[in-house]
């Protein structure tokens, strides 16, 4: 007796599991059904192909319904399931964000409090995004002064009241004693560059960044090449 053919493995979703993007998509459709895939892509600031993939996924999951509209257009509607999923994703996104904020702030405050106990009161922060904002709040709570924010290419003179400088030398000129990494995009590369100019005890890299403490010789060779 012939065995039934095995079902092909399910293909993974073409779009990344990005809760923030999904929330933005469902929010846009819930607020206004008169969207095209192109207008949704613009609103979400993603490629048209990704917007199309996200919409297909939402339709397949029963979150969004498509209806024909005049002039060969389509109207997109959130289903009751879509509204429920949006609420779930918002809660999940906020919980994840709050957990990350708490963990990051706790680890920065712990590190900065240890500096203050050693008599170190002036630091520099590398980075100028949301993580840098958390580091600034933590420095203030620990009684440590941020002498400079190292942010190459940033045009503003100040970041939340702190001087913005282009490199480590400029930060040291403002009497920064220690440098804290607040670069969420390339923390290891940032650490390695700093490590070639500063001893390890003058660099703060919180645990959540997962930075290997020893500078990597391969990256040194790459930059020298």
Query: What does the DSSP assignment read for 131-190?
Result: HHHHHHHHHHHHT-EEEEEE-TT---SEETTEEEESSHHHHHHTT--EEEE--SSSHHHH
Q: Which helix (H) or strand (E) holds 105?
A: helix 80-117
User: In angstroms, rounded to a whole number, what is the distance separating the alpha carbons of residues 138 and 151?
Assistant: 19
Tens-binned pLDDT, residue by residue, of the chain (225 aa): 444 444 444 433 333 346 778 888 888 888 876 777 888 888 888 888 888 888 888 999 999 988 876 655 678 888 999 888 888 888 887 788 888 899 999 999 999 999 999 999 999 999 988 899 999 999 999 999 999 999 998 889 999 999 999 999 999 999 999 999 999 888 999 999 999 999 999 999 999 999 987 644 444 433 433
What is the CATH architecture assignment of 100-224?
3-Layer(aba) Sandwich (3.40)
- Predicted confidence at residue 36, as pLDDT, reads 79
Domain ranges of the chain: 19-78, 100-224
Would residue 72 be called left, alpha or beta, if left means φ above 0 and alpha means ψ between -120 and 50 degrees?
Answer: left
| CA dist list (Å): 214 to 63, 154, 168, 196 | 48, 28, 19, 10
**CA R_g for the chain:** 24
- Predicted confidence at residue 187, as pLDDT, reads 92
Domain 19-78 has CATH 1.10.3720.10: no
* 122-126/145-150 β-pairing: parallel
Do the two domains 19-78 and 100-224 of this chain adopt the same fold? no
- pTM of the complete model: 0.66
- Predicted confidence at residue 189, as pLDDT, reads 92
């Amino acid at each position: 007796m012939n065995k039934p053919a095995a079902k092909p493995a399910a293909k993974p979703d073409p779009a990344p599991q990005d809760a923030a993007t999904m929330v933005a998509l469902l929010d846009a459709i819930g607020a206004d059904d008169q969207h095209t895939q192109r207008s949704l892509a613009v609103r979400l600031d993603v490629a048209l192909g990704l917007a199309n993939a996200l919409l297909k996924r939402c339709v397949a999951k029963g979150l969004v319904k498509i209806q024909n509209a005049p002039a060969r257009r389509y109207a997109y509607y959130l289903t009751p399931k879509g509204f429920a999923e949006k609420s779930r994703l918002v809660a999940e996104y906020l919980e994840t964000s709050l957990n990350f904020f708490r963990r990051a702030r706790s680890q920065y405050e712990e590190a900065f409090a240890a500096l203050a106990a050693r008599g170190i009161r002036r630091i520099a922060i590398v980075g100028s995004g949301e993580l840098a904002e958390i580091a600034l709040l933590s420095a203030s709570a620990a009684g440590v002064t941020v002498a400079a924010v190292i942010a190459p290419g940033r045009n503003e003179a100040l970041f939340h009241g702190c001087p913005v400088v282009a490199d480590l030398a400029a930060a040291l000129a403002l009497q920064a004693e220690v440098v804290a990494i607040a670069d969420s995009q390339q923390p290891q590369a940032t650490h390695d560059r700093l490590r070639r100019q500063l001893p390890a005890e003058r660099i703060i890299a919180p645990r959540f960044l997962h930075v290997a403490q020893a500078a990597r010789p391969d990256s040194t060779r790459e930059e020298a090449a």
